[in-house]
Amino acid sequence: MKRRDVLIAFAPLAIAGLAAAVFLAVYAYLYVFGTIFGFNVSTLDGSGPRWPFPTMYLSGLTFAIAAPAGIAWALIYTLGIKKIGKSRKSASPSALHTA
């Protein structure tokens, strides 16, 4: 596969990986600074910031949608490329002009 085809085939999986990384980073932030150091890390603690829970919700939802869709898209796209490549090879000009 060409580089362009790889980017097209695996872009949804890359988005899912990025969403998972954001989710885990925020979870690590909440655990380290909230549990270990005892800081106010969210609005549940009182005067903490509001961004952790919406960020975790959006990144988790993005991962839940992009991961299965990315797996399906990668399979469909790569198998489609293999079929197109085989049909192009079988329809070579030398095979068509045998007279």
Cβ atoms of 3 and 46 within 8 Å: the answer is: no
pTM: 0.77
Q: What pLDDT shows up at residue 5?
A: 86
Q: What pLDDT shows up at residue 89?
A: 59
**Residue with tokens 């988790």, as numbered in its chain:** 60
User: Helices 3-29 and 52-90 meet at what angle, rounded to 10?
Assistant: 160
Cα angle for residues 81, 84, 85 (degrees, 5° grid): 85
3-class DSSP state for residue 13? helix
Q: What pLDDT shows up at residue 18?
A: 98
Cβ atoms of 46 and 40 within 8 Å: the answer is: yes
The pLDDT tens digits along the chain (99 residues) read 788 888 999 999 999 999 999 999 999 999 999 989 988 888 887 888 999 999 999 999 999 999 999 999 999 998 987 777 666 656 555 555 555
